[in-house]
Structure 1
Amino acid sequence: MQSLECLRPSAPMDCLATVLDSSYITPTIKSIWVHLSNPEFRFLPGQSVWPKFERDGRKFSKIYSIASSPERCPKVELCVSRVGWSSAYIQDLEIGATIPVRGPYGLMTLNQLPKRPRLYVAEGSGIAPLKSQIDWLRDCGYSQPVWLVLANPETADCLPYHDYWRSLQQTWRPFHYVEAIHCSPESALVAQDLDLSQFEIDICGVGDRVSEIYEFILSMGANPNQVRSEKFIAF
């Protein structure tokens, strides 16, 4: 276990990832747990790994955010949405299958406990790096308010980790879960009437949606110096 005073990632390294478990958490999104072969692997909550594989004669690599707390290393969780041939390959790996990966990578991270309340806004599998942060804050006994606003444009009535978030809200007092079902996260956020100037805010979603959510949050009074965003490309 890494102490709060020295939470640092390892330099990017090559590992062999062995699939331990794979299950659907929505009709299109899977939670995939893997075991990494290198015991020196360490990451910051919010970082990613880079699976390297070949399919149909094509070498391909794509970064996937880690969805679990660093406290679970060398086991890590990937959250993979089935939107193209690369994600389908990852989703279809059987228990016991192995795949080379390299990491960690990524800059929208935590390396110490924040001093302000946290707000997370995610769409679809963009929840992955934010879940890593939330789980780590819970593991550390973080006591500031933590809000999650979650939507899923792919399947509006199926939010990733839905039951988990509801349970976490019951067992961890600082955590507040806002379900954006059949509505945008912007609409769901307005209903909460939060003073966003008090929050550190992380946003993760697909493509241009990130910019839209970012601008909306600034219009609600968020401090731009306290807002970070990350987008992913679905393929």
Structure 2
Amino acid sequence: MQSLDVLRRSPTADYVATVLHSVSLTPTIKAIRLRLDRDDFRFLPGQSVWPKFEQDGRKFSKIYSIASSPSSCPEIELCVSRVGWSSATLQDLAIGQSLPLRGPYGLMTLSELPQRPRLYIAEGSGIAPLKSQIDWLYECGYQYPIWLVQANPETPVHLPYQQHWQRLQQTWGNFHYREAIAQCPETVLARLRLDLATFDIVICAVGERSDQLQETILSLGAKLDQLRSEKFIAF
């Protein structure tokens, strides 16, 4: 297990990453494993990196959340949804190919173990920063309940990291996984009947879906000061 006293982030800097592995998680989402060229890279669970390259005169300018735990450094994993030219370029990188990137970035992070139960809600590749946090909490022996509600609007019957979550639920008594397949996360959340006022809640979804999920959570009794949401743009 990773010790809290070594959990820290390095200053934002430039790196060169090499593709180690690339695997399809759903028909549109890939997990891409990278190794950075320096061992001093450190990030907090929930942070991101910014791949930087050009294609046909267009600059790649999207930041991607890291899906792996900080314990895997200097290796990181990105969860990339194929929805446009930039994400397609990143998905099509060959094993052994290199690309420059900059990081870490991002403020929706964990720097110490929380002291309340946690509810995570993710749609599509928005699972990435939440996976980083959940995996790290598992490694640290986190003692409070964790719930994950996951959906994927792009291909509703295919959830990224689904088998990972199913295995984790079997081995970690504090972790509870609910799939929103052929239904929206709002329906699943309403059926859980959790006392949301006692939870820290994190939402990650595309654009206005993040706002819609936040409204639902608040209507079910969550406290605004214990809720964090992050929007991402798919292109």
Give your verdict on TM over 0.5: yes
CA deviation map 1:84-104 (0-9, x unaligned): 000000000010000000000
Q: Within 5 Å, which residues of 2 pair with 1:155-234?
A: 155-234=155-234
Q: 1: CA distance between counterparts of 2:67 and 2:60?
A: 22
TM-score (norm 1): 0.98
1:148 corresponds to 2:148: yes
Which residue is 2:99 aligned to? Answer: 99
Letter in 2 for 1:222: A
How far did residue 76 of structure 1 move? 0.4
Letter in 1 for 2:40: E
Q: 2: CA distance between counterparts of 1:67 and 1:16?
A: 18
Over the matched positions of the two proteins, sequence identity in percent amounts to 66
Q: Report SS of the residue matched to 1:181.
A: coil
Letter in 1 for 2:157: D
Letter in 1 for 2:15: C
Q: Within 5 Å, which residues of 2 pair with 1:53-68?
A: 53-68=53-68
RMSD: 1.0
1:50 corresponds to 2:50: yes
1:110 corresponds to 2:110: yes
Residues 52 and 60 in structure 1, CA contact (< 8 A), matched pair in contact too = yes
Gapped runs of 5+ residues in structure 1? none
Which residue is 2:137 aligned to? Answer: 137
How far did residue 52 of structure 1 move? 0.2
Residues 34 and 77 in structure 2, CA contact (< 8 A), matched pair in contact too = yes
CA deviation map 1:53-88 (0-9, x unaligned): 010122222100000000000010000000000000
Residues 121 and 150 in structure 2, CA contact (< 8 A), matched pair in contact too = yes
Gapped runs of 5+ residues in structure 2? none
Which residue is 1:23 aligned to? Answer: 23
Q: 2: CA distance between counterparts of 1:22 and 1:179?
A: 24
How far did residue 39 of structure 1 move? 1.1
How far did residue 4 of structure 1 move? 1.0
